[in-house]
Amino acid sequence: MPSIRTAPQHSPATGQKPGFSGLIVTGLVAIFLAGCSSFGPRSLQQSRLEYNEAIKSTTEEQLLLNIVRLRYTDTPSSLAVSAIAAQFERTQSLGLTPFFAASGADINQSFTAILPQALVQQADRPTFSLTPLDDQEFTRKLFTPIPLDGVVYLAKTTWPISTVFRLYLENLNWVPNAQTASGPTPADAPEFSNFRRGVEALQVLQNKGHLVFGIDERIETSGSPLPMGSVKAGDIIEAAKNGFEYRRDANGKTWSLTRKVQQPVVRISPEAIGSPELRLASQVFKLKPGLDKYDISQETLSPFPVTYPAGGVGVFDLETRSMLQAMYFISHGVDVPPEHLKQGLAPQTLDKSGKPFDWEQITGGLFKVHYQGGGKRPAHARVAIPYRGYWFYIDESDQDTKATFSLLVELSRLELNTKAGPGPMLTLPVGSR
């Protein structure tokens, strides 16, 4: 820091009190030094949470925009914030200018006062790098069905089974969950009622603690048994490296190549085996009654339930949706202004009588997006985006929709996370503030 000198601070001609200028200078220097020491940490305290909130809110707005686009059969598009470089700059200067009394041309005359001068400038120059999410890997993930373990994991958490299954399942034991709604808005109403009744019965069982998702560890055999002398020590070591194990069979004469597998299961409480809810779910999903445990599989059953055994099946066989299908599905919870329907800007589904189909029957209690005209953002909106002359928004008080939207945001981060591809990257420097 620069050193500062002052001239004599008292003159009989003015009657100024001794030390007054020195106090001013001391105060300015203290402020100057305080600013030097606190700018960095204080800038981090003031900006980190602001950037965090900006990323969170724009991520949610982008997802909602894409959901609304799908309702209008428009193409979704996304940009990822791949980097933020925040540069903070502070410039300070402190000066003292002597103030001379009128005393002719005597250059040796002592000045009677000083005029302090201080200048402080600071700037925040963030740079954002935006990457279009349209590379091959991202697109493939967007169309890839969600893996079985992902759905089971969600069902094992505190998320309601009805929310997870309604959002991410195409069908359960080939009982359809509005499968035609997993794409652009269909012309005819989809089939969904049996699935909805069965899932609501399962939800009652889960609420009572009578239905629990879990994992069984089982031994799976690969190939045919091998004679005792054909398996060498090197074979055993090599199998172990790849997650397999040679086990001696019960007859003591052969080896079998085995491995441990994690089998997802649904466990039923003995108290619920004869309950009305389980009877209803068993009837809807063609389950074998009286079991306390059902395996969970993915697309292993025949797509034609008429071929199932008369006594039912002992498995929950799931067909999962991709992220894009899930987004299409909930896009039917977007209210569309009547004038847009009349103009044909958004497709419309008709029921068997030829009247507009009420999508609330499918998305009710799961997802709802409202619209509002005018230029102002809705005051009671949790997330809102402008689109085609209207504001589309999620109401702050709609807890069901907010929970579903949060689930979709989190799973999209998990399923669609990808490295930046070779495509273009847009870097935006933002002006100082």
Lowest mean pLDDT among 3-12, 210-219, 384-393: 3-12
Q: Mark whether 46 and 181 lie in a shared domain.
A: no
Q: Mark whether 100 and 57 lie in a shared domain.
A: yes
Q: Classify burial at 357, counting beta carbons within 10 Å of its beta carbon; exposed 0-12, middle 13-18, buried 19 or more.
A: buried
Q: What is the pLDDT of residue 97?
A: 65
Q: How far is CA 15 from the centre of its chain?
A: 71
Q: What is the pTM of this model?
A: 0.76
Residue 353 lies in a domain: yes
Residue 425 lies in a domain: no
* pLDDT tens for each residue of 337-353: 999 999 999 999 999 99
Q: What is the extent of the structural domain holding 80?
A: 20-132
* pLDDT tens for each residue of 287-309: 999 999 999 999 999 999 999 99
Q: What is the pLDDT of residue 201?
A: 97
Which residue did the predictor score with more confidence, 30 or 210? 210
Q: Mark whether 104 and 164 lie in a shared domain.
A: no
Q: Mark whether 166 and 303 lie in a shared domain.
A: yes
Q: Mark whether 96 and 189 lie in a shared domain.
A: no
- Does residue 344 sit in helix, strand or coil? coil
Q: Classify burial at 379, counting beta carbons within 10 Å of its beta carbon; exposed 0-12, middle 13-18, buried 19 or more.
A: exposed
Q: Residue 248 above 60 pLDDT?
A: yes
* CA nearest to 191, candidates 170, 173, 164, 161: 170
In whole angstroms, give the CA distance from residue 357 to residue 219.
50
Q: For residue 90, name the pLDDT band (cuts at 50, 70, 90).
A: low
* CA nearest to 166, candidates 411, 367, 402: 367
For the chain, the residue count is 433
Our CA dihedral for 264, 270, 274, 276, rounded to 10 degrees, sits at: -70
In whole angstroms, give the CA distance from residue 94 to residue 264.
71
Domain count within the chain = 2
Q: Residue 16 above 50 pLDDT?
A: no
Q: What is the pLDDT of residue 39?
A: 56
Residues 6+ apart with CB under 8 A from 142: 322, 323, 324, 416
Q: Residue 204 above 60 pLDDT?
A: yes
Q: Mark whether 120 and 180 lie in a shared domain.
A: no
Please say which residue of 132, 151, 182 terminates a domain: 132
* DSSP H or E stretch at residue 338: helix 338-342
Q: Mark whether 343 and 399 lie in a shared domain.
A: yes
Q: What is the pLDDT of residue 13?
A: 44
Contact 171, 319 (CB under 8 A): yes
Q: Mark whether 66 and 194 lie in a shared domain.
A: no
Q: Mark whether 188 and 335 lie in a shared domain.
A: yes
* pLDDT tens for each residue of 275-287: 999 999 999 999 9
Residue 83 lies in a domain: yes
Mean pLDDT of the chain: 83
Q: Classify burial at 13, counting beta carbons within 10 Å of its beta carbon; exposed 0-12, middle 13-18, buried 19 or more.
A: exposed
DSSP annotation of 146: P
b/e burial code for range 286-318 (CB count within 10 A of at least 16 → b) = bbeeebeebbbbbeebeeeeeebeeebbebbbb
Please say which residue of 132, 155, 174 terminates a domain: 132
In whole angstroms, give the CA distance from residue 366 to residue 401.
6
Q: Residue 121 above 90 pLDDT?
A: no
**In 175-216, where does DSSP find H-type helix?**
193-207
* pLDDT tens for each residue of 138-165: 788 888 898 888 888 888 777 899 999 9
Q: For residue 137, name the pLDDT band (cuts at 50, 70, 90).
A: confident
What is the share, in percent, of the chain residues with pLDDT greater than 90?
Answer: 51
In whole angstroms, give the CA distance from residue 413 to residue 432.
31
Q: How far is CA 24 from the centre of its chain?
A: 55
Q: Mark whether 155 and 291 lie in a shared domain.
A: yes
Residue 423 lies in a domain: no
In whole angstroms, give the CA distance from residue 416 to residue 66.
15
Residue 79 lies in a domain: yes
Contact 393, 65 (CB under 8 A): no
* CA nearest to 69, candidates 188, 189, 186, 185: 185
Q: Mark whether 200 and 53 lie in a shared domain.
A: no
Q: Which two tokens stand for residue 406?
A: 């949060």
> Which residue has 């800007």 as its token pair?
345
Residue 277 lies in a domain: yes
Q: Mark whether 381 and 312 lie in a shared domain.
A: yes
Mean of pLDDT values over 57-61: 92
Q: What is the DSSP string of 270-296?
A: GGGTT-HHHHHHHHHHTBPTT-SEEEE
In whole angstroms, give the CA distance from residue 161 to residue 164.
5
Question: CA distances (Å), 412 to each of 144, 354, 396, 417, in order?
Answer: 12, 36, 22, 7
The phi, psi pair for 11, rounded to 5°, reads: -140, 130
Lowest mean pLDDT among 55-64, 245-254, 318-327, 373-382: 245-254
